[in-house]
Structure 1
């Protein structure tokens, strides 16, 4: 309980700062309970047209990242779970080991590759970089989910004359829907929250919300904390809404993929 309350302190500070007048935000000693409430900081957002561009960039990049991650990880996870071939176990461990590389360590290499191929400042550069780091966990998540589906179901479909493509698309994927939703939500959040790659690989017209908010409200000598907190609150709502709506499927997907039954 104490740890949970401690973890919610940043959220509480964000809410208090977003709804408090600027003078109260910088008052000393600080007020744990706001004395006055205002919506002026949210009104300022309506007069910041750049935020709409950042929001559109985040939506486009995050949705494409989620879709691409789900498609690739679904086939890879099914292959690891249901097929037997030489090098399968080594590939599985290689995918797992790729999670151990610090993302910042690969930033310069990825930047040089995209610079040489002319992909800098493009949606494709962001999507490819985000997908690269979401795939390992998504693959293992869906591999664990496919492990829970009995092989007898596949054998029965084959006895009825169903080809492998039909088995995957019409039988396995619908059953694995909770796992696919969980993987897609994870990839979406990863793309929505990324900062360092969005800042490095994209220019102002392609940047997503995290670096966009910093460029808008954080200056060399001053930071507009109330406006920044208001913008952060608004831009976090899509992820919160998606999590609330898909929570049942997310829990089912994670729980089913956690054990082999």
Structure 2
């Protein structure tokens, strides 16, 4: 019994255009793509090098922090800087303020943006397109330009040095992106679901809360997490609009460890690393919803 070896297939179009009738070369399977791995390694180093340096500095004794050349790996390890963080009660006050402001900002942003996004997606009314782009245009202005205006408005109404000033200012900046993210998510939900609910006798509010909202959970989580991180990380508005009793962690850490005479870098690094843990845990727990919500919201509607 003879075995026939098939001849390699030749692309006739390529052969006519180039005059080369040799079969195209194929990349051997199993060969590592060094360019991809090198690029990935560079991205990983760029992303995690600051975090690693935070950790190294927070574990280094004070007398070794400013040595030259700096050591990539600590030769001596101390936890006194972390003990100093836990020994400062004012930091727990800043932490409480950050949690309150960030959670309320996230909830308020999601509640307002889900109704606006649903209206823009499923209803047709006069001025809809203009209003949509008007909401988006608010993202074109640098947020720092609005600081003076917001400060004067809050001072006029007696809202300075309060949670409400921070919550309103943070929600002002998170709302446009949340609205457009949820609009893109609602655009992907078929209108047949709404029509079926109407046939069953459900009203507009019942349709939205019982049919649409459960399906839109990934988008709601993604929008809420974005708003939470915005409120958690803000520095300039929290420093300007809130007094010492209502300041959040970013300006609180600066006021605690940075002064005109000196800066307690190891303690600041330890505190910065600790306050990053809640956000990192939230991202890990909600990663599945976050990816699904952002991907769905990015589809053109």
Could you tell me how far 1:13 is from its partner in structure 2?
1.2
Where 1:35 maps in the other structure, the secondary structure is coil
Superposition CA RMSD, Å: 1.0
TM normalised by structure 1 equals: 0.98
Task: Give the corresponding residue for 2:191.
Answer: 151
Specify every segment of 5 or more residues in structure 2 that has no aligned partner in the other structure, as ranges. Answer: 1-39
Distance 1:88 1:26 in 2: 59
Distance 1:128 1:119 in 2: 10
Distance 1:74 1:89 in 2: 17
Larger relative helix fraction? 1
Distance 1:49 1:138 in 2: 35
Task: List aligned pairs for 1:4-23, cutoff 5 A.
Answer: 4-23=44-63
TM normalised by structure 2 equals: 0.85
Task: Give the corresponding residue for 1:176.
Answer: 216
Distance 1:228 1:252 in 2: 35
Distance 1:160 1:189 in 2: 40
Task: Give the corresponding residue for 1:90.
Answer: 130
Task: List aligned pairs for 1:99-138, cutoff 5 A.
Answer: 99-138=139-178
Q: Is 1:48 equivalent to 2:78 in the alignment? A: no
Could you tell me how far 1:222 is from its partner in structure 2?
0.6
Specify every segment of 5 or more residues in structure 1 that has no aligned partner in the other structure, as ranges. Answer: none
Where 1:248 maps in the other structure, the secondary structure is helix
Aligned length, in residue pairs = 261
Where 1:171 maps in the other structure, the secondary structure is helix
Distance 2:164 2:117 in 1: 24
Q: Is 1:209 equivalent to 2:249 in the alignment? A: yes
Q: Highest relative contact order (Cα 8 Å, sep 6+), 1 or 2?
A: 1
Whether the 8 Å contact between 1:24 and 1:31 is mirrored in structure 2 is no
